[in-house]
Amino acid sequence: MSVLTRRADFLAANRGLRIARPGFVLLARPNEGHGLRYGITVTKKIGNAVVRNRMKRRFRELLREALPVAGLPDHDHVLIGREGGVERDFALLRQELAAP
């Protein structure tokens, strides 16, 4: 698994499949054989830097355990943080990510 860093990759993922959950929005899009990649986005509307970084750490851990098993091969996966994502229970976030 590799990490998305280029803005163009995040914008391309925005044109793909979109799944909204209470704590986050998951985007998935084929990436022409670049393998399994992921990215995380949390906007300043969510909170200050401490809150945003905590949310990103939680999302990173979610993706590390879920993508090798349930991720789509040769797809980019992007998690976008939502307002209530930081306060949500980690087990609940895991269930939301695994739900079809």
Q: What is the pLDDT of residues 38-77, one digit of tens each?
A: 999 999 999 999 999 999 999 999 999 999 888 889 999 9
Q: What contacts 69, CB < 8 A, 6 or more positions away?
A: none
Q: What is the pLDDT of residue 14?
A: 94
Q: CATH code at 7?
A: 3.30.230.10
**Total structural domains within the chain:** 1
Whole-number percent of the chain with pLDDT over 70: 100
The yes-or-no verdict on residue 12 having pLDDT over 90 is yes
Q: How far, CA to CA in Å, does 80 sit from each of 27, 32, 33, 38?
A: 8, 22, 23, 11
Domain range for residue 67?
2-98
Predicted pLDDT at 54: 94
Task: Determine phi and psi for 72, rounding to 5 degrees.
Answer: -80, 130
Verdict on whether the full-model pTM lies above 0.75: yes
